[in-house]
């Protein structure tokens, strides 16, 4: 038996707004959008897609699962994402080498240092 990782589903209040934000932030393409959801993917087709779905409840706690990204230049990438509407998030990380940000709906993600 084998499994293929297809997508990461992100619950949100406004799937279209958040899906477009992530598409812009990642320079990914929208591959599906209708009245209920939006799906984006890496233009290369590599890796899982992100699927955005509306849910009735608001986010209320720190994410149990989050995305990590490795940029060429951590400081430049953090500044670019902040300019797009991300905010800095404190999840108790203290003085670590990564930067925790949140998307416009408060979902945390990390910008790691360059490898």
Task: Tell me the pLDDT tens digit for each residue of 58-67.
Answer: 888 888 889 9
Report the predicted TM-score, pTM, of the whole model to 2 decimal places.
0.91
In a domain, residue 1? The reply is no
Domain that holds residue 71: 66-115
53 shares its domain with 29: yes
53 shares its domain with 83: no
Q: Please count the other Cβ atoms lying within 10 Å of the Cβ belonging to residue 66.
A: 15
What's the CATH code of the domain at 17?
2.60.40.4320
71 shares its domain with 115: yes
30 shares its domain with 48: yes
The first and second tokens of residue 113, run together, are: 């240092």
Strands 99-102 and 87-88: antiparallel
81 shares its domain with 46: no
Residues 37-95: pLDDT tens digits? 999 999 999 999 999 999 998 888 888 889 999 999 999 999 999 999 999 998 777 77
DSSP states along 45-79: --S-EEEEEE-SSPP-S--SS-EEE--SSHHHHHH
99 shares its domain with 71: yes
């Amino acid at each position: 038996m084998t499994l293929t990782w297809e997508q990461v589903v992100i619950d949100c209040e406004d799937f279209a707004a958040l899906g477009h934000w992530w598409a812009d932030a990642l320079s990914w393409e929208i591959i599906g959008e209708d009245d209920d959801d939006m799906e984006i993917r890496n233009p290369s087709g590599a890796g899982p897609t992100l699927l955005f779905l509306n849910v009735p409840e608001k986010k209320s706690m720190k994410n149990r699962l989050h995305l990590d990204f490795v940029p060429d230049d951590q400081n430049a990438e953090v500044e670019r994402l902040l300019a797009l509407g991300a905010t800095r998030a404190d999840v108790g990380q203290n003085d670590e080498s990564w930067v925790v940000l949140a998307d416009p709906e408060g979902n945390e993600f990390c910008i790691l240092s360059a490898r």
